[in-house]
Amino acid sequence: MKNFMLEDEITQLAAAGASADRGAARDAFTRLRAELSAGSVRAAEPDPASPAGWRVNTWVKQGILLGFRFGDIVDASMDHGRVPFYDKDTLPLKKPGLAAGVRIVPGGSAIRDGAFVARGVICMPPMYINIGAYVGEQSLIDSHALVGSCAQVGARVHVSAGAQIGGVIEPVGALPVIIEDEALIGGNTGIYEGAVIKARAVLAAGTVLTGSTPVYDLVRGEVIRPTAERPLVIPEGAVVVPGARAVTVGKGPEWRLSLATPVIIKYRDSRTDTRTELEAWIR
C-alpha cells in the first residue's frame, strides 16, 4: 500500500540533495524504515504490466539513500566493546522478537532494520539481510548467504549456503534482484544487477547471473538476453546449470578458449520437486 505523503516528502528531500534539511531527512527515513520493516512499503513490487512482471519504487530507494547520507557514524560495538563495529546511527539492526515467528539460529547472523522478514523464515548462521530487502514466508536463508539491499525474495525460497543475492540501490530507477516464490538458489550462486528469477526456477550450485549474462535455453532452443527495456528473466520452472561456450573470434579457436555461460537444461517436473521437498525435513 502506498504512503503518498511519505513518498512526496522523500522525493522533495532527495531532489534537494546535500542541501536538504537534515532533521527532516532523518525523520522521513526513520518512518520509511518502519514501513519497510513491516512490509507495508517495498523497494519493488509485482506489476503485470511491466515487461519483467515487476516495477521499482524509485522513491523508496531515494529514501534509503537519505538514511545513508544523513546518518552519523557511531560506535555500534557488541559484547561491551570486545566486538568492534562502527556504522551509521540511522541503520540499526533488526530485532524481530519472538512474536515475529522468525528463526534466527545462533552464530553471527545480522538483519538490518528496514528489511522485511516474514513469519516462518529461517536464518542460518552466518547470513546477512540488508536494508530494503524483502524475504517472504517460510524461506530459508542459509549459511554465508547474502540478501542485498532492496533484493526481493519470495515465499518458500531456499537461498543455499554461500549464495549471493546482489542488492541494487543505485541507480535508483534500476530494478533490484528478484527471486520469486518457491525458487531454489544453489550454493555459491551469484545473482546480480537486477536479474529476475521467476517462480519455481532452480539455479544449480555455482551458477552466476548478471545484468548482461546470456542464458542458453536448450529446451526451447533460444538464447535469453537482457535488453534496455527488460532485465535478464529466468523463466518459471527453469533448471539452470553452469555451462561453457566456445570462443569463436580472435585467438579463441587457436587457444581453445571457452566462456562460462548458464544453460537451461530442463524445466521443473515431479522428479525435481521430489528432490527439493527434502528441505521440509529441516524446518
Looking at CATH, the fold of the domain delimited by 85-282 is given as UDP N-Acetylglucosamine Acyltransferase; domain 1 (2.160.10)
Query: Rounded CA gap, 173 and 171, in Å?
Result: 6
Is this prediction's pTM over 0.85?
yes
| The amino acid at 206 | G
In this predicted structure, what is the pLDDT of residue 283?
55
Cα–Cα distance list, 137 to 45, 132, 182, 278, 283 (Å): 16, 16, 10, 18, 12
Do the beta carbons of residue 175 and residue 52 sit within 8 Å?
yes
Q: Strand 238-246 and strand 196-197: pairing? A: unpaired
Q: Which residues of the chain have pLDDT under 50?
A: 278, 282
Q: What residues contact 70, with CB distance under 8 A and at least 6 apart?
A: 20, 22, 25, 26, 29, 90
Start-end ranges of CATH 2.160.10.10 in the chain? 85-282
In this predicted structure, what is the pLDDT of residue 2?
64
The closest of 213, 206, 143, 142 to 177, measured between CA atoms, is 213
In this predicted structure, what is the pLDDT of residue 277?
57
CATH code for residues 4-48+55-73: 1.10.166
Handedness of CA 131, 132, 133, 136 (dihedral sign): positive
Start-end ranges of CATH 1.10.166 in the chain? 4-48+55-73
Neighbours of 6 (CB within 10 A): 17
In this predicted structure, what is the pLDDT of residue 196?
96
In this predicted structure, what is the pLDDT of residue 89?
97
**Helical H segments across the chain, by residue range:** 4-16, 22-38, 58-69, 252-255, 270-276
